């Protein structure tokens, strides 16, 4: 699956826990396309951020929650999504604007 890096990496996940991972273990968290595998995620990160080398990629699949639609008796479902935790070499970092 040859796709553009911006189609694979959706957005960084910036939470308190992810900031702790950046400081302690040099790990960055991203929301990625659910069909992407670890090799594609690694290549996309290295293409999007020049000078960065990925050591390891961990992925997690999340099932979308069922939510009640406001004002009705109907239920809807949020989309399934995938999270990737990317470990970089020591001393390297990604700058988020």
pLDDT digits (tens, 9 = 90+) for 23-77: 999 999 999 999 999 999 999 999 999 999 999 999 999 999 999 999 888 999 9
Rounded Cα distance, 43 and 72, in Å: 45
The pTM for the full model equals 0.88
Q: Report residue 12 as tokens.
A: 């960084």
Residue with the larger pLDDT of the pair 97 and 30: 30
pLDDT above 90 (res 1): no
Closest residue by Cα to residue 4 from 57, 34, 40: 40
Q: Which fold has domain 5-88?
A: Alpha-Beta Plaits (3.30.70)
Sequence-distant (6+) residues with CB within 8 A of 55 are 87, 88, 89
Name the DSSP letter for residue 46. Answer: H
Indicate the pLDDT class of residue 97, thresholds 50, 70 and 90. low
* 93-95-97 Cα angle (round to 5): 170
pLDDT above 80 (res 22): yes
Q: Which residues of 69-84 are buried (b: 16+ CB within 10 A; e: fewer)?
A: eeeeeeeeeeeeebbb
């Amino acid at each position: 699956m040859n796709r553009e890096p911006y189609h694979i990496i959706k957005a960084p996940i910036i939470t308190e826990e992810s900031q702790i991972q950046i400081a302690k273990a040099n790990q960055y968290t991203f929301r990625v396309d659910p069909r992407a595998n670890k090799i594609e995620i690694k290549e996309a990160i290295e293409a999007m951020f020049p000078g960065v080398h990925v050591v390891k990629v961990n992925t997690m699949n999340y099932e979308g929650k069922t939510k009640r639609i406001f004002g009705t008796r109907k239920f809807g479902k949020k989309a399934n999504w995938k999270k990737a935790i990317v470990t970089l070499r020591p001393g390297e970092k990604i700058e988020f604007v």
